[in-house]
Structure formats: structure tokens, C-alpha cells
Amino acid sequence: MNILLLGYGKMGKIIGEIAESRGHQLVGKINIENRNELEKLDPSRVDVAIEFSQPDAAFDNISWAIERGIPVVSGTTGWLEKKPAISALTLEKNTAFFYASNYSIGVNIFFKVNKFLASLMKDQQDYRARMEEVHHTEKKDAPSGTAITLAEGILGEISSYKNWKLSDGMDENEHLLYIEAKRIDPAPGTHIIRYQSEIDDIEISHTAHSRKGFALGAVLVAEWIKDKKGVLSMDDFLSF
């Protein structure tokens, strides 16, 4: 399979290494310094584009590929206010767009554990939920896309929380789910959900030991999506 990498930072390089180890060809490695090479690239040579760039570049990168009928697997966070436009363009061009805030199989299992725990806690008024996420200092957005997905899972089950908010140290509104974001090196990613009461605490967490789990998941999805159409997600891929 011929893969175009849109974004060639630390994650892009790991994705490229894994893709080549699985027998795929890299037909382009695009970053901010060589984006002009896209205009020279023959879209017919590309089976799938994998997009892990930056929040301010994601929309243009994804649009470029979708406009040319190239299926896209994206993991960039911090740009999702424009996702409805990408979804509409995907359907218009009859191709495929796959987005996940995290491609780790373990994290996606954690998403489901989080929702299940929230469903058990929805009537437990003595407990207050809050979240913490820790990433490396080069991560541009806060909170992480994974943290937002986890927060949305809780909001979908516990109606007393009206929205999530990045913690500013003044966490007083009982109707907001607060997320504390820390940037510490080296830290591929840790996410913690706590339910606290005067009597006890309940806590679940996921800690990534490297970026390889995220990168492998993205390549596996790229292999899966090659001949599919529509706007897809990890629920479609995992089907459990």
C-alpha cells in the first residue's frame, strides 16, 4: 500500500517506520518545511494519507487529500471545530475520513471503561469527578484530545455536569467537569479520572509507555480503511 504522511514530526516518523516494517511504501513525508511538494505529488499514487501534523495545519492537510479522493486517517487534535466541514467534504467526494483522538487499542478500551464507570456514578451525588492529563512539553493543545473524549464520555452519562473546562486552579462550579493539564518531559501520555468523596476516592488511569501504540493503531486503521467510504471512527474499526 502507498501511504502519504501529512506531518512528519516524532509521531509521523514512528508511523513511517512501522508502515515500512509492514511492507508499505511511503510516497511522501510532508511537514511545514516542504508542503509545496504536495503540488508535485500524483494523487493517483496514494492509497491512504495518514495525518498527524499540528492544529493549525490539520484542516488544510486533510482538505487537500479529501479534495483529491484520498482516504485520510487523522490523529491531530485541537482543530475539531472544523471537522463538520471535513465530514461534508468527505461525503461530497465519496471517499473516507477517519478521526480518532487516540489510536491506541488500550486507550480505546479505556474509553469504554470510563463510560461504564460514569454510568455507575451518575446517581452518586456524594462524589465529584475531575480529570488529570500529563503530556510532553512539545504538545501544543491542552487539554489533550484524549482527555476531551474521556470528558465527553462522562458528560454523556452524568447529566449534572453541563460541560468540561480546563482547570485554572479556581475550580468552584459544581456543574463543570474540570481537567487539569500538565506538561512534563518525558511523558507520552497519562490520563486519570477520579471520583472523590469525603469517604473515599475511586480512580482509573491509563499510562502510555511510548508512542508506538498510537502509531501502530494508525497504520492498522490505514490498512483497514483503504477501500471504505464515509466518515468513520474507532467504534467502526473495533466493532465491539
Catalytic residues: 135, 139
Return the percent helix, strand and coil in the chain, to nearest 5: 40, 25, 35
Residue 158 near residue 129, CB atoms below 8 Å: yes
- Quick one: DSSP state of residue 156? T
The grid coordinates listed for 153 are 464520555
Q: Which three-class secondary structure state does DSSP give residue 24?
A: coil
Count Cα neighbours of 66 within 13 Å in the Cβ-side half-sphere.
27
Q: Which residues contact 116 (CB under 8 A, 6 or more apart)?
A: none
Burial of 152 (0-12, 13-18, 19+ CB in 10 A): middle
* Helical segments of 94-192, H only: 105-121, 145-155
Rg over alpha carbons for the chain, rounded to the nearest Å, is: 19
